[in-house]
Amino acid sequence: MAARTSVDIASHPLTAWNGPLGLPDFARIRDEDFAPAFDAALAVHEAEIEAIASSEEPPTVENTLVALELSGEALSRVSAVFWCRAGAHTNETIQKLEREISPSMARHYSRIFMNERLFRRIDALYGAREELHLDKEASRVLEKTWKRFVRGGAKLTEQGKKRLAEINEELAELGARFGQNVLADESKWALFLNESDLDGVPDSLKSAMAEAAESRGKPGQYAVTLSRSIAEPFLATSSRRDLRETVLEAFLRRGDNEGETNNAEIVRRTLALRAEKAKLLGYENYAAYKLDDTMAKTPDAVMQLLKPVWDKAREKAAEDEKELSRIAAAEGHNHPIAAWDWRYYAEKLRAERFAFDEGTLKPYLSLENVIAAAFDVAGRLFGLTFEEKPGIPAWHEDVRVFVVKNADGSERGLFLADYFNRPSKRSGAWMSSLQSSYRLGGGKKPVIYNVMNFAKPPKGKPALLSVDDARTLFHEFGHALHGLLSEVTWPSISGTSVARDFVELPSQLFEHWFTVPEVLARHARHVETREPMPAELVEKMRAARNFNAGFATVEFTASALVDMAFHARAEAPEDPLGFEEEVLNDLQKPAAIPMRHRTPHFLHVFSGDGYSAGYYSYMWSEVLDADAFQAFEETGDPFNPEIAERLRRHIYAAGGSEDPEELYKAFRGRLPSPDAMMQKKGLV
């Protein structure tokens, strides 16, 4: 108990953020600070919840709903910094605490949602909601809070509550272990090569591989790592088929190697617990439980989207595979196209059809150029400006800090960006917040961050991005804008706190502006000459947008379909990897196209609960984003101020203040059909 009272949350650097610009003082935060800070913050939150639940006053919006929303600030602050570190710059100390704190936090929130006295107060407010005359936003918060308690077990028997709490605790522990196992496989694997092994590899990739080797203690060599920003371009350019096979095999086997990092049992147990949880809460399966609070609503609605796209994508991929085989045969290779061949021959097919390759574009897509382009678009659409503040400490020396200002010069919030891959960072790219934006109780300004995994160039050299990298930056910055532009009263519906299949709309929509001609003309400039990308090359890049669409759509949709198959069953499979194979065989997945995320490293689905039965949401949002960008195209102005203001008000600023269908209709006037998405993907 002493540890729980040894921290003064009013002065501790993890709970009292007194660093520059109101950030946490990262220079004062040590790894060993987290455990006692968590203990103290949990104790404070428990006391706050007890005060609300035990109040003898009749429940009101102010003394119950508002009090609940504003409780736990210290815990939110410690958690925000810790989970940032756990994803972006971890180590053994952080990982050990992650394995401990994940089930501890699950226990903590289970106790809150199963607190009978607290739920009685929420339930009383919900039952009297018509007489309370709440505004639209407060009414939605009350409804979502009530549902969150019910879905958290508030109406279960004591035995049911006990079992649900046990399930939640174990799932949290499993999720932490799953993610750490994938990171371990990624960080410990590297293929070290010499100059003679690099036939076909462009200079920009060689530079990144040299930096990766040097950072791993092998100066003078070149390392292929399992970062997508190195592995995928190597697969697309290396003429060494044996090396391509080695790299892809390692990439696909993350979480599926022998030893303690194997995730097979974690997946099996996770699926079994999720199925049990769904039944306990009265749902037919876990997909039904997860989709109950989404736009899609049911697994059938998801399948009605995914299956036609899958069929079209397979047809497109089969056409492309014939072309790849033709090119391979012309080079004297008559073997069937294997998974480690596809990207290599696809690049040759791209060069044949469009007379350029990715290497031609990279000098025009320096990281600095693409950042400037994203900021410029945000300025033209929403009036934002970004002022970098060098030298401010964050969780790693690579992190950059920007003050975000409104059109009138007033400060809106902070944006932090962590762009480069390192062994201490989990793979992928993501947006999160150290602090959300809301008005309640005096309010808070947003502190939003993006994390990427771009290959770090040698010191003094510019980072050059692929087209996919540039789109990733725009995508995650779109999420960041969702957090930065949020203008709601209540914390629980701020920014990205929306339905899972709506959350990708702001990010995927923002990607469209990357290839707007005037954006490219202004920002796609050669890293050495500063000359703009030639108009001919711009047109080729735009024309090639849907190149290899069959491959890209098959690899994504296969993952979405397997995710849904896992969770739409009443009983979890005993052999998940065998089940994965069965599903893919039934779907007749092309052998040469792997899933984008195989089950043993499917972080979206198994490292936590975020996208479980929800990976489809990228495509669901893609239906929305293709239609939304058409609103601008129909006016002939990609920065039409009237459309931009509707977009800001109803999508980026609205958070979860209304049902997503209503928000989209307020912006567009109607709901979309999948036609624009299919056309955007080049599948029609």
The catalytic residues are: 476
Query: Do residues 655 and 491 make contact, with C-beta atoms less than 8 angstroms apart?
Result: no
To which H or E segment does residue 631 belong? helix 617-633
- Work out the end-to-end distance of the chain between its first and last CA atoms, rounded to an integer number of angstroms: 64
654: DSSP letter: T
Q: Give the closest residue to 656 by CA, choosing from 508, 509, 445, 486.
A: 486
Pull the structure tokens for residue 17: 């953020």
Structural contact between residues 495 and 655, judged by C-beta atoms closer than 8 angstroms: yes
DSSP state of 64: I
Per-residue DSSP letter, 189: -
> Is the CB of residue 564 less than 8 Å from the CB of residue 287?
yes
The angle subtended at Cα 631 by Cα 626 and Cα 632, nearest 5°, is: 100
Cα 86 from Cα 179, distance rounded (Å): 10
Hey, which bits of 108-212 come out as E strands?
191-193
| Secondary structure letter of residue 444 according to DSSP | B
Sorted by sequence, the CB contacts under 8 Å of residue 653 that are 6+ apart come out as 485, 486, 487, 488
Q: What angle do CA 512, 513, 516 make, to 5 degrees?
A: 105
What is the side-by-side order of every strand in the sheet holding 430-435?
385-388, 400-405, 411-420, 447-454, 430-435
Task: Give the span between the Cα atoms of 182 and 37, in whole angstroms.
Answer: 28
Closest C-alpha to 402, from 315, 480, 463, 511: 480
Q: How many CB atoms lie within 10 A of CB 487?
A: 17
List for the chain the helix, strand, coil content (%; round to 5).
60, 5, 35
- Alpha-carbon distance 349 to 343, whole Å? 10
Q: Label residues 541-569 b or e (16+ Cβ within 10 Å = b).
A: beebebbbbbbbbbbbbbbbbbbbbbbbb
Q: What are phi and psi of 434, to 5 degrees?
A: -80, -30
Torsional sign, CA 428, 491, 296, 634? negative
Which of 142, 53, 64, 95 is CA-nearest to residue 426?
95
